[in-house]
Amino acid sequence: MLVMTDMLWQADFEDTPMRYLYSALFYLLVPVLLVRMLLRSRRAPAYRQRLAERFGVFSCPRQVTEGKVIWVHAVSVGETLAAAPLIEQLLARWPEHRLVVTTTTPTGSERVQALFGDRVFHVYLPWDIPGAVSRFLRKVRPELLVVMETELWPNMLHYSHRQGCHIVLANARLSARSARGYARFSKLTSGMLNSLGSVACQASADGERLLALGLPAERLHITGSIKFDIDLDEHLQDQARSLRLALQNRPVLLASSTHQGEEELILDAFSIVRERVPGLLCLLVPRHPERFESVYQLCLSRGLRTARRSAAEEVSAEHQVLLGDTMGELRLLSGAADVCVIGGSFIEHGGQNVLEAAAWGVPVISGPHMFNFSEITTMLLEAGGMIQLQGAAELGPALEQLLVDEARREAMGAAAAAVVAANRGALHRLLGLIANEMADA
């Protein structure tokens, strides 16, 4: 009934037919989305909670409904962590504004609440149907929307822009494969891009793809990636040193943000390499928390004595694996590693963030699929701080060469850290663009 009512009163006859078709299809998909959420909730119960928020139905404090609002949209954990320094700056620079932070996943929600508590108001991003988006905007009424990376939704952008909200696309990236997908719906894509006030792009190649899709050239700014602005503060460094001591200064192979099917490949390579590297410990960190238990069982089925980080188990000399089954600790865990293998790169996912390991001076190994981080990968490869393999069969030999050659590890690590240091400053440039948009708001 709610969906049918939305469709009746959300007509906007000045808009493009393509967005109407998109909206109609999205309404038809709502039952499928609900079933998908319920299926996912079998492994992650949080997916069936707060479902009303997906339709723009929620309660929010008076400071939001009656005050000035800046809205930041991140997707999940990675985007939330990347946005964290930006959110801190927004809180400090515009204290008269209330910050609303949206995510689409429960893990992203958990990170927002853990990092900021009641300093921001968190709610799930509504599904991109006109009624849900309009209900959200009537409550929140943001002056500025900051969208992280390339989380572009036609109705979210259309109705925000029509309400007079200034929109900044921050830390934008667009792979060649994603650009081809957007190009298939050129009219819809062009409309979205024309609603953006400023685009802060990670690299010139990303910017060229956005321009080809219809972004007005005067709105494009190449600012670099804010993921380079990693703060390894003194407290975090102390924690990393303590973790190294707790691991008895054993050589540590970090498998970072792994996806289904990759743990088997990494554990195969680990089992071979540890015969040549006495005491080698595998610090295994799956990307998705709903897989923690199945990965733990996988390790046990292979006869590997495995400690769980979430249980604060002491890692003894007999343990071969430490399962990183906690959220928000990857930066800390990276500081305890000797070599890092990047997850999402041995399947066609496009890789995960390599910079948290690189910032610590940890050499990085990836598989062939790093298209979501192509510019950063190129920088690290050219500097000699990273090795990109063509397939899983190369992983064991590559790990063995690095782990037995301390001088090479140190040289690669220093090169990786130098790339991070040389590319800091994107956050400062992004804040300048935001300040310009706020001045016009």
Displacement of CA 356 from its chain's centroid (Å): 12
- The residue with tokens 């650009």 is 179
d(CA 148, CA 200): 10
Neighbouring residues of 152: CB distance < 8 A, sequence distance ≥ 6: 169, 189, 192, 193
Q: Token pair for residue 6?
A: 């939305």
Our answer to whether residue 410 is catalytic in this structure is no
Q: Token pair for residue 115?
A: 């990092």
d(CA 126, CA 146): 16
3-state secondary structure of 158: helix
What is the DSSP pairing of strand 198-201 with strand 220-222?
parallel
Rg of the chain (C-alpha set): 23
Q: Token pair for residue 85?
A: 């320094």
What DSSP character marks residue 389? -
Of 434, 441, 435, 440, the closest CA to residue 148 belongs to 434
Catalytic residue among 53, 79, 143, 375: 79
Task: Give the catalytic positions in this structure.
Answer: 79
